[in-house]
């Protein structure tokens, strides 16, 4: 029974990684950059929800929606101010800017909200589902997290495959120049991608802090890095890849904690990542990149 419980917890943690990884992978797919500030947008989302619920006594659902709105605007603002001016700059300059933006957000959060940890109260409620005469107990947060993750993936795949904006995103990810010649506004498409990724970051932030209720300015940092790893693991640029990579990373992490060593769990996760990349450098579901001559 404990195996099943670990598996479900792993999938739940993995769902959070997957939701964050989607933001990395979509932005990478379309803007061809690694937005290392993405993890810190998660933290901002969690703070917004926290204050909405505790300070202003708003219902949790409103808190989540508010967090999504704030993060969407923040993500678009970051793109507009920090990344757009570097559209034709070398990728190293963009990467450094992204890391700088990450520290800027963390330090701003520290100034605004201090570095004292806040105790986040779950937006889902603290109960648990008991199965098999109480031998298996799954918390509601775990269940809700998994359901939300699957719903998000389904929605995103629908948007990307079937909507006009989604097709524009795919066109931009393949060839921005050709996309412009189709009449696609590439800047709007990139901005839209940041908006979606950041709204997802808000959801991930709230779910993360509902499961692990300590909220600090650095809260988004490690999950952000791990989700980035998950995106690479699954094949960066691929939406199903981010999903698969996230879930696998979560399951491996929880199993490593349960059966091998809590201290070593992160090392094991990254060792698996390295192994996968040695065997399949494009990640599990990644596309081979053909250099055009």
Partner 1 sequence: MLKVDNINVYYGAIHAIKDVSFEVQEGEIVTLIGANGAGKSTILKTISGLLHTRTGSIHYEGKDLKGIAPHNIVKMGVAHVPEGRRMFSRMTVEENLQMGAFTQPAASVADSLENVYSRFPRLKERRKQVAGTLSGGEQQMLAMGRALMSKPKLMMMDEPSMGLAPILVEQIFDIIKELNQAGSTILLVEQNALMALSVANRGYVLETGRIVLSASAKDLLNNDSVKKAYLGG
Contact footprint for partner 1 (CB under 8 A): 164, 167-168, 170-171, 174-175, 177-186, 287, 292
Cα 111 to Cα 86, 108, 217, 287, 288, distances in angstroms: 28, 5, 9, 42, 44
CB of 110 or CB of 187, closer to partner 1: 187
Are 85 and 99 in contact, with CB atoms under 8 Å apart? no
58 vs 84, which CB is nearer to partner 1? Answer: 84
Shortest gap between Cβ of 182 and partner 1 (angstroms)?
5
Cβ atoms 39, 225 nearer than 8 A: yes
Contact 201, 74 (CB under 8 A): no
Rounded to 5°, angle at Cα 96 from 90 and 97: 90
Task: Provide the b/e sequence for 7-32 (b: ≥16 CB within 10 Å).
Answer: ebbbbbbbbbbbbbbbbbbbbbbbbe
CB of 174 to partner 1, least distance (A): 5
Q: How far apart are CA 217 and CA 168, in angstroms?
A: 35
Q: In angstroms, give the least distance from the CB of 190 to partner 1.
A: 13
Tell me how far, at minimum, the Cβ of 183 lies from partner 1, in Å: 4
Phi, psi of 83 (to 5 degrees): -100, -35
Considering the complex, state which of residue 61 and residue 93 has its C-beta at the smaller distance from partner 1. 93
- The pairing of strands 214-215 and 118-119 is antiparallel
Considering the complex, state which of residue 168 and residue 196 has its C-beta at the smaller distance from partner 1. 168
**Cα distance between residue 282 and residue 263, in whole Å:** 29
d(CA 185, CA 187): 6
Q: Least distance from C-beta 170 to partner 1, angstroms?
A: 6
Q: Can you say whether the dihedral through the CA atoms of 103, 228, 153, 262 is positive or negative?
A: negative
- Least separation in angstroms between residue 172's CB and partner 1 is 10
Q: Among residues 101 and 168, whose Cβ is nearest to partner 1?
A: 168
DSSP one-letter string for 83-128: IGGGTTS-HHHHHHHHHHHHHHHHHHHHHHH-SSPEEPPPSS-S-E
Between residues 182 and 264, which has the closer beta carbon with respect to partner 1?
182
Closest approach of Cβ 180 to partner 1, in Å?
4
Q: Is the CB of 29 or the CB of 197 nearer to partner 1?
A: 29
CB of 20 to partner 1, least distance (A): 25
CA torsion sign, 191 to 197 to 199 to 201? Answer: negative
Nearer to partner 1, 184 or 248 (CB): 184
């Amino acid at each position: 029974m404990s195996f099943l419980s670990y598996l479900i917890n792993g999938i739940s943690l993995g769902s959070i990684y997957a939701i964050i990884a989607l933001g990395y992978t979509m932005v990478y797919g379309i803007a061809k950059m690694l937005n290392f500030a993405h993890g810190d947008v998660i933290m901002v989302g969690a703070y917004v929800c926290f204050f909405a619920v505790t300070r202003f006594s708003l219902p949790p659902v409103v808190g989540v929606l508010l967090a999504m709105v704030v993060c969407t605007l923040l993500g678009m603002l970051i793109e507009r101010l920090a990344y757009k001016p570097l559209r034709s700059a070398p990728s190293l300059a963009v990467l450094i800017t992204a890391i700088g933006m990450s520290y800027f957000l963390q330090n701003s959060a520290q100034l605004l909200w201090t570095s004292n940890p806040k105790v986040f109260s779950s937006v889902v409620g603290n109960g648990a589902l008991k199965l098999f005469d109480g031998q298996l107990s799954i918390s509601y947060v775990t269940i809700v997290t998994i359901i939300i993750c699957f719903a998000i993936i389904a929605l995103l795949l629908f948007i990307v495959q079937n909507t006009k904006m989604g097709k524009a995103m795919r066109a931009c990810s393949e060839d921005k120049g050709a996309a412009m010649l189709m009449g696609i506004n590439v800047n709007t498409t990139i901005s839209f991608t940041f908006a979606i990724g950041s709204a997802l970051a808000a959801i991930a932030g709230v779910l993360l802090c509902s499961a692990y209720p300590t909220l600090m300015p650095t809260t988004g940092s490690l999950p952000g890095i791990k989700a980035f790893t998950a995106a690479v693991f699954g094949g960066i640029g691929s939406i199903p890849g981010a999903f698969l990579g996230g879930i696998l990373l979560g399951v491996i992490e929880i199993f490593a904690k349960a059966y091998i060593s809590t201290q070593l769990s992160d090392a094991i996760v990254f060792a698996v990542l390295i192994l996968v990349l040695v065997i399949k450098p494009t990640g599990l579901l990644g596309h081979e990149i053909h250099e055009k001559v």
